[in-house]
Amino acid sequence: MTLLQERFAEVGPITAMETQLARAAVAARGRLDERDETSIRYALALSRCWHVRAPDGRDVAVAAILRPFRERLVQVLWPLLDPQRPLLAAPHELLPAAREAQRIAQEALAQIAQQLGHRLPSERLDREVRERHLVLVCGGGGGTGYVHLAAFALLEAAGLQPAMLAGSSMGAILGLFRARERRFDLARIPEILQDLTYRKIFRLIPQPSMYGLPGPLRLHLRAAIGHWFRHPDGSPLRMSDLPIPLLVTVTGIRRGKLPRPLEEYEAMLGVPDPDPSRWGIRALHRNVRQLTAAISELARIPRLTARLVFGASEETRQADAIDAAGFSASVPGVIHYDVLRDDARMHELLQGLLERHDLLRLCDGGVVDNVPVRTAWQHVQRAGLPGLGSRNVVIFALDPSCARRRKSSSTSSPLCSGCWRRSLRFQAESQTRSV
């Protein structure tokens, strides 16, 4: 078991009890004493602390000191906040548990002050416990992903701004729009939708693949929405320039794992006639279907893919934001995104990534992590929120695409291979019909 897996196992019961407490508070309709609820919430938040950022910028480990406190807290609260039992019929039942939770929390704070007070001021620990930040995760799903814009509007209307975003595929593109400004301008939604039409972002122009997997539809993000992601001097926004930190999941295809030579996939894109005006729908549809069927074989190959997260390292934070989103939205065998322009910096960055991770090509982030909740949680636990250092977050995930979920305790909901293959076929057929 890795350190993060152990961490997730420890905080799992705490998260479950906090969720049950929120449900009980809603069901009580004001009959739950606010002081009792506050005491329990504070104790639960304290028990989740792992590392706390000190004033000198270093992380101070508090998990070992808090472990006995967390175990005692679970013993006190679990009989009342067990998710498997019905909600509290009488909210006053929480009163003794709230007082006990407050007492042992004070003992834990005193112990931390005694052992770590010289490195971690009490007000810094108190702020970590009391201030919780929103991490918004935007899943992939093609056209269904436009619902993310409505979620952005609702959160903005409620006065909730994310401290970090994570996105995959279409969620990466729309997450990029949200990350470009601290406050989301609701009036811009019609402009965004107008720029994200199929006619603007897709071209049926087969081009050589340098970093992306080949596909009949060329994704022209820069031509369609590039004006949204430029500095006043015209230079492109990098991941590090975004006002709200963004993590973009991209799938890497490992070298030596493709069942066919890459040139064979590219040959399947051969258009029936050099003149686009004489392309026949049936012939084009046949080519796309042939390539999609070949690419679908990849879902059955073990250890074929690797997960890359743009924005999670200093190196990938220097990538152009629109390129990261473009690779994340390039559906294997259907949509091709690449960096073919004369840009030495991006070529050097991408070539270095492929070499270090032993990858052949990049493609849709939804293949490995369609709703990157796990990615967001792991990044926060490892490094803390960028600029804040806090690890006290609530992750709000939006999954517009896949109704079939795995019945497990996993924190992510990747698109299953069956849904992925159906999605490839559907998108290929719909795109050729629209042409």
What SS3 class is residue 116? Answer: helix
CA 267, chain centre distance (Å): 34
DSSP 8-state assignment for residue 18: H
pLDDT digits (tens, 9 = 90+) for 274-329: 444 444 455 556 666 666 666 666 666 778 889 999 999 999 999 999 999 999 99
**Do 369 and 402 contact (CB within 8 A), yes or no?**
no
Residue of 353, 308, 302, 343 whose CA lies nearest to 328 = 308
How does DSSP classify residue 396?
E
Per-residue pLDDT of the chain (435 residues; tens, 9 = 90+): 688 888 888 889 999 999 999 988 888 877 888 888 999 999 999 999 999 999 999 999 999 999 999 999 999 999 999 988 888 767 788 889 999 999 999 999 999 999 999 999 999 999 999 999 999 999 998 878 888 999 999 999 999 999 999 999 999 999 999 999 999 988 888 888 888 888 888 877 767 789 998 877 889 899 899 999 999 999 999 999 999 999 999 999 999 877 777 776 666 655 444 444 444 455 556 666 666 666 666 666 778 889 999 999 999 999 999 999 999 999 887 888 999 999 999 999 999 999 999 999 999 999 889 999 999 999 999 999 998 999 999 999 999 865 444 433 343 333 343 443 334 333 333 333 332
* Single pTM value for the model: 0.84
Residue 433 neighbours by CB distance under 10 Å: 9
214 close to 265: Cβ distance less than 8 angstroms: yes
